[in-house]
Amino acid sequence: MTENFVSIDWGGTHLNGVIFNSIDKALKKKFLKEFELPSSNLKLISDKNLEEICKNIIKIVKQYVDSKIILLIGAAGVSNDKTADRLINSFKQLSDSFEKIEIYPDFLCNHAAYLNGKDGILSINGTGSILFGVNGKKQIRHGGWGYIFDETPSGSYFGKKYIEAVLSGLDGNKSFEYYVNDFKNNNNFIEREEILNRIYMASSPQNYLGNYSKYLIKAYEANEVYAVETINKSIDRLSKSILDLATYLDLKRVRFCGSGGLWKNWKALKNMLNVSCEKLGVQLIWEENGIPLNLGPFLCYKSKS
């Protein structure tokens, strides 16, 4: 009997899925449907929003297949069985069409897709950030603790630092007038309490802060001192973490890939990280990804079977 696969890369702000029932060894596309939907980090999402996303996925899937479905998901925020089980149960309560549901951490799936089984290090820098490295049977991850703790480049961290500058300026610090003026130019409100209320009342503060990352990057490109210092320090933290992982894994040649919104939307990041790593004596060998991230969960599933 034909097996129908749904493989989904579930990120912190959106998900990308693919539906198929046949695929060759070279992973050439024979897809029934590819789709994209809004999403959220599974650690932060409410039950209501999770149910809505699951309903939307099921609605799309049932247009193409309705039985013997193997659902495979690589997701941000999957740190333990409890988080994964919550997602699995949400699907099972809404539909009995799934023969099997398996959930994997996003860094495992992204590493499988970007490095295709090769030893090396993957840096995910989207709404959040995490490093994951493999050499043979040795694996190590660093970060992925969320925007409150992680200080390597991510949309939420950059957005947080931008808002901190705005609030400092509103409190009277003249060094941050640039950010107060910039915020006024890009928003229809500027009151201190309104800024804080919108953050703390957001369904996902991490995603909300991520919306402001582009303004810190713009300030960096304008050579504004605070932005330059903040972003350079963040990139240096990332390069130091890469060195730590390479040392632990005993990687002499560091195959490397970057995944996530910062890599996609900020092309300068690659060269900036190269320069920072070279100062530490780390030469990155960049791997070009030829496999879509939405097939990462399928690759993880096949490696176990």
Predicted pLDDT of residue 53: 96
Predicted pLDDT of residue 269: 97
Predicted pLDDT of residue 31: 85
Predicted pLDDT of residue 26: 44
180: tokens are 């107060």
CA atoms within 13 A on the CB side of 1: 8
Instruction: Using the structure block, give the residue that is written with the tokens 């504004």.
Output: 224
DSSP H stretches of helix in the chain? 47-61, 81-94, 106-115, 155-170, 177-186, 192-200, 205-210, 213-221, 225-249, 261-265, 268-279, 296-304
303: tokens are 């490696």
**Residues of the chain scoring pLDDT < 50:** 26
Buried b (16+ CB within 10 A) or exposed e, 118-140: ebbbbbbbbbbbbbbbbbeeeee
Predicted pLDDT of residue 40: 85
| 199-247 residue pLDDT tens | 999 988 988 999 999 999 999 999 999 999 999 999 999 999 999 999 9
Instruction: Using the structure block, give the residue that is written with the tokens 């953050």.
Output: 199
Predicted pLDDT of residue 56: 96
Predicted pLDDT of residue 203: 83
The separation between the first and the last C-alpha atoms of the chain, rounded to the nearest angstrom, is: 17
Predicted pLDDT of residue 268: 96
Write down the pTM of the prediction.
0.87
Predicted pLDDT of residue 285: 95
Predicted pLDDT of residue 1: 55
